[in-house]
Structures are given as C-alpha cells and as structure tokens.
Amino acid sequence: MNALGSLADPSRYREPIDIDGEDPGVLVAQLRSLIQIRTVEEFLADRVAAGEIICPCHLAIGQEAIPVGVSVHLRASDRVFGNHRSHGHFLALGGSTLELLAETLGRATGCSHGMGGSMHLQDRRVGFIGSVPIVGATVPLAVGAGLAARMDGKGDVAVAYFGDGATEEGVVHESLNFAARFNTPIIFVVENNLFSSHLHILERQPADSVARFATAHEIEHRVVDGNDVLAVSRAAESLISRARLGEGPGFIEAVTYRWRGHVGASEDIDVGVQRAAGLSEWKKRDCVTRLATALELAGHIHAGFVAEHQGLIRRDCDLAWEEALAAPYPDPQDLIDFVYGGRR
C-alpha cells in the first residue's frame, strides 16, 4: 500500500522550498552544512572508487537535509546516536572533517582513534555518542540515554537515527514501547529512503510508511519530505521542544532517497527495476538545489554560491586528506585503552 502518497513520488516536490518569513542567516548556514556534507561524502566516494579507502563506506548523498534539519535544534549536551550511514549525522553536529577522513583511514587521529572506520564514529564534544553498523542496535541505547537525560532533569534529549529497514527489527518496537511507557525525551528519526540494502520497502512491508508504528505506541509523530530542510527542521523543532518540556518522545519519518548504493561509491542503478527508474527522477528533488534556488531567488545568496563553497570544501578535504595520510596508525595498546575500557 502506498501510504506515503505524493511523498514517495519523485516527480513531486521539486520546486524551491518556501522560505517566506524564515531567518535568512539560519537558512544560509543550513545550506553551507548541506554543501559540506554532500562535498565531503563525494570526496569519500572518490577515495573509495580509487581503492584508497578499504573500510566499508555507506554514503547518504541525497539525504543531507535530514541531519541538518534536526541538528539545528540540538545542543552539545544532547545525546545523538547514528547507524552505519552516519557521516552526515556526525558532520551536521559540528564533527571534524579531518577526524572523519582520518577515521576512514584507520589513523590514530580519527574521531574514534582509528578503531572504528566509517561506521563507528563518535564525538562527545558535539553530542554524537556513536554509530554502529548493526541494524537497530543504537535505538535502545538512545532510549537509555534519553531516560538518563530525564533523570538528570536538565532538559536534554536523545536522538536515534535509523532507516526504514530497522523498523523490521524487534528491538526497535521494544524501544518505542519503552519510550512511550516511561515518557522518555527521545526523538526517533527514520530516514525512509525506501530501500533496505537492495530491497524496496513494498517488497518487505505491507505499506511504504513506517509512521504507523509510532501510532501503535501512541507517540507524537510527523511525516515529512526529507528533501526539504525546512520541513524537517519544523518537525524537529516541534517534537524536540515537547520532549525537553517532559511531554514524551517524538517520531519523525523523513521520506528521501539515497543517490549511491547500499555500500560503496556506485549508484547501483542495476539493482531492481524501481531503483533503476527512480534514481534520475529523485535527483531532481535535490535538497541542496531546492534550498539554494530559494535563497538565490530571494536575493540572499549569489548565483555561484554553491559552486564556490563546493570548491572551498573540496580544498579543505584535500588538505585534511594529506594530513590524515601522514598521521600514524594506532598503537596496539590503544585496543585496551579505547576498545576494552582500560585506563582511558
């Protein structure tokens, strides 16, 4: 059943987003963040294709509006958890590009001290507690962090990012139930890109929307266009504000589409008839173009803004890459100190 309606139709929502009445300074900052995430991931894709990165890399190119829209309402004391596709979650919070690149190379200067690679990122300085590749695994951890935040009484929230495929894991439903029962300040953010690995959601579930699981647990929820940073931001602002006030968990289903395959740099356009037909259409619903065009039409940025910032970030990536390559690999003792909970 197509419960998402027009949100699942890539021929819709291609126009510039409506920014009337919004703070242009905030929007320009969000555009910069979108461009940063897109450019860094394209840089990583090039390094993967060249064989210079050998750890698995799951790219979220095309999905950048979701972490940017959510992160603008978070603070460093909040507790954010990601999944195997979390470069954007990490960067949107202010994570270091240099530390991300170094981590993909397994260098000691990486954000996880070279122990995690692309899928195990963390930076508690910006509130990113961590990401792991096990589907659904960080969702109960985020609920626990949210429960701790409630007990601390400082108004902090937890955020759990996961894909539509994770909703097929039992632990996600246990987590939703627990969060609702114990009024936990957590926001569940489902990045519904319609594919779990190589299988379309309608080949796995009876409906293409997963918000029905929030309804089942009586959790306040929003279903939004995940390629509209303002739509994501408004949903996040509403639900995060409720959670901070002790009004319980929230659930965002952001409908989007990843431009690259499940893992690696290729587009996987040969996998499944629907993906082959849909990718070129979804690219016309680009979150970067829609915001940039709106800002340009309103006179808030100049015509070459996106290309200019892509060039600047690409140069930063080149410099960071050389610095990361020159960094040492971790000392074997670091396994004890950072992985098995030794003296650090």
Using one digit for the tens of pLDDT, what is the confidence trace for 138-189? 999 999 999 999 999 999 999 999 999 999 999 999 999 999 999 999 999 9
Give the percent of the chain with pLDDT over 70. 98
Give the pLDDT of residue 273: 65
Confidence of residue 333 (pLDDT cuts 50, 70, 90): confident
Strands (E), 174-299: 186-192, 195-196, 199-200, 220-225, 250-255
Residue-wise pLDDT for 5-51, tens only, equals 999 999 999 999 999 999 999 999 999 999 999 999 999 999 999 99
Query: What one-character DSSP code corresponds to residue 52?
Result: S
CA-to-CA separations, 65 to 94, 134, 286, 322, 342, in angstroms, rounded: 15, 24, 9, 29, 38
Listing from the earlier edge strand, what are the strands of the sheet with 79-82?
128-131, 79-82, 158-163, 186-192, 250-255, 220-225
> How much is the pLDDT for 276?
75
pLDDT of residue 208: 96
pLDDT greater than 80 at residue 200: yes
Q: pTM for this structure?
A: 0.96
Q: In the structure, what pLDDT confidence band is assigned to residue 342 with cuts at 50, 70 and 90?
A: low
What are the Cα distances from residue 4, in Å, to 37, 91, 209? 27, 29, 6
**Residue 109 clears pLDDT 70, i.e. is over it:** yes
What is the pLDDT at residue 343? Answer: 56
pLDDT at 344 over 70: no
Q: Which residues of 178-190 are buried (b: 16+ CB within 10 A; e: fewer)?
A: bbbeeebbbbbbb
- Cβ atoms < 10 Å from Cβ of 281: 14
Q: Are 251 and 219 in contact (CB under 8 A)?
A: yes
Cα 69 to Cα 237: distance, rounded to the nearest angstrom: 9
- pLDDT for residue 341 is more than 80: no
